[in-house]
């Protein structure tokens, strides 16, 4: 009888050890899953905070664009900050082309080039295009392009749109892309 009791006791002890291992592994797995879920949720919260701050910064930036440059020759207007200037000598006309440069104290330069639509291909040929995506510019469908200028080797962001007989290019250095993206929202065709 003591032999049977010893076997039963051994089975009970093994069952308890096996049950303990099972419970330990089950709870460890659940804890790891909870940790992963918490990490995923925290990453989502951090991303939302970052995006919310970017939206606030962008809204603040847009609200600072209190001056309007209106171009009756090429039928567009664009807003810019009152502490920016349109530097004398950087606004000129050449046949059916025009370049307007906006400059702030930090030397951020936003350039609006307007030219005949038939020059569109030539403009794009002068670029080593990295990315292209569709963009709304003045209510028209255009493109937002990140590219390197073949001429100067500078990396820039370009917004390009064609309307009527003209092709519009609004550009800035990649470092100033956030400002350009905000200004592009103020670009309007006036006809």
Q: Which domain holds residue 25?
A: 1-63
Are 57 and 73 found together in one domain? Answer: no
Identify the helix (H) or strand (E) that includes residue 27.
helix 2-63
DSSP helix/strand/coil, 121: helix
Are 114 and 174 found together in one domain? Answer: yes
Number of domains in the chain: 2
The token pair that represents 93 in the structure block: 């006309």
Are 44 and 75 found together in one domain? Answer: no
The model's pLDDT over 65-101, given as tens digits with 9 standing for 90+, comes to 788 888 888 899 998 888 888 864 444 455 567 888 8
Residue 48: CB partners within 8 Å, gap ≥ 6? none
Is the per-residue pLDDT at 158 higher than 80?
A: yes
Are 7 and 93 found together in one domain? Answer: no
More confident residue, 54 or 174: 174
CB 173 within 8 A of CB 156: yes
The model's pLDDT over 21-51, given as tens digits with 9 standing for 90+, comes to 787 877 777 777 777 777 777 777 777 766 6
The model's pLDDT over 100-114, given as tens digits with 9 standing for 90+, comes to 888 887 777 898 988
Is the per-residue pLDDT at 160 higher than 90?
A: yes
Of 63, 86, 111, which closes a domain? 63
Of 35, 63, 91, which closes a domain? 63
Are 42 and 81 found together in one domain? Answer: no
The model's pLDDT over 102-147, given as tens digits with 9 standing for 90+, comes to 888 777 789 898 888 887 878 888 888 999 999 999 999 999 999 9
């Amino acid at each position: 009888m003591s032999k049977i009791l010893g076997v039963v006791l051994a089975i009970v002890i093994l069952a308890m050890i096996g049950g303990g291992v099972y419970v330990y592994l089950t709870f460890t797995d659940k804890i790891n899953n909870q940790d992963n879920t918490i990490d995923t949720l925290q990453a989502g919260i951090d991303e939302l905070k970052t995006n919310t701050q970017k939206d606030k910064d962008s809204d603040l930036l847009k609200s600072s664009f209190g001056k309007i440059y209106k171009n009756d020759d090429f039928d567009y207007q664009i807003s810019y900050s009152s502490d920016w200037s349109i530097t004398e000598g950087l606004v000129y006309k050449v046949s059916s082309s025009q370049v307007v440069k906006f400059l702030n104290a930090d030397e951020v330069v936003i350039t609006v080039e307007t030219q005949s639509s038939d020059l569109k291909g030539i403009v794009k040929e002068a670029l080593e295009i990295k990315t292209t995506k569709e963009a709304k510019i003045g209510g028209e469908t255009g493109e937002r392009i990140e590219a390197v200028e073949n001429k100067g080797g500078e990396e820039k962001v370009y917004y390009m749109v064609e309307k009527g007989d003209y092709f519009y290019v609004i550009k800035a250095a990649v470092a100033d892309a956030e400002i350009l993206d905000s200004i592009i929202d103020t670009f309007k065709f006036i006809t």
